[in-house]
Chain A
Amino acid sequence: GENVEQHPSTLSVQEGDSAVIKCTYSDSASNYFPWYKQELGKGPQLIIDIRSNVGEKKDQRIAVTLNKTAKHFSLHITETQPEDSAVYFCAALRRWRYKLIFGSGTRLLVRP
């Protein structure tokens, strides 16, 4: 069935360091991969996404990479700041489907 595995479940980094979160998907028909940031008591916020025809996408301090052959995609946050502390979810979406398949989440803590 459709499944997205996300690692690590928790990640603690020093302010200014980089953070990397990795996801693996099972459905080879998936073609859209968003990342959400969820702060305590708030709804998930779409922070970056990538489509299957692109290998990498950057937006300031965040970037996402996609390896379609290996069915891996990763979120990279550089120069982390305390306000980056949150739970991050990856997800995958199959073409012509509405249902996002979410990873289990990564709790990122950025220590000042």
Chain B
Amino acid sequence: DTEVTQTPKHLVMGMTNKKSLKCEQHMGHRAMYWYKQKAKKPPELMFVYSYEKLSINESVPSRFSPECPNSSLLNLHLHALQPEDSALYLCASSLAMSEVIFGPGTRLTVL
């Protein structure tokens, strides 16, 4: 298995909703990432987990809450989002600090 999977593919939510994005990899990678990508822009790093511990938080608002239940799973909990949070949310993983493999992304729309 050489891929990162993400669910759901698309998500529409209201500003008062709570939802979660899920990510899974079975490549034995020990680092997992959340990125946010707006249209026509490069991905922006949000969080990094290394060996299941939060290693980097790029000053992300608290309405985004990451969770790493085990070495294969990564979640992103969403609450009270704003319309400007609409974007493609990408999960990624890497064995070491390089060769970052991205998932297909979740297209999030906040109404």
B31, CB-defined interface residue at 8 Å:
yes
- How long is the Cα–Cα vector from A41 to B37 in the complex, in angstroms? 11
Please tell me if the beta carbons of B102 and A44 are within 8 angstroms of each other in the complex: yes
Please tell me if the beta carbons of B100 and A105 are within 8 angstroms of each other in the complex: no
Please tell me if the beta carbons of A36 and B97 are within 8 angstroms of each other in the complex: no
- How long is the Cα–Cα vector from A24 to B101 in the complex, in angstroms? 23
Of the residues B41, B58, B101, contact of A46 by C-beta under 8 Å: B101
A61, CB-defined interface residue at 8 Å:
no
* A: contact size bracket: 20 to 34
Q: List residues 12-50 of chain B with CB under 8 A from any CB of chain A.
A: 31, 33, 40-43, 45, 48, 50
CB contacts (< 8 Å) of B88 on chain A: these are 43
* Segment of A14-22, A75-83, A96-104 engaged in the interface with chain B: A96-104
Q: What are 12 A-B contacts defined by CB distance under 8 Å? A: A43-B4, A43-B88, A45-B102, A46-B100, A46-B101, A89-B42, A97-B97, A98-B33, A98-B48, A98-B50, A98-B56, A99-B48
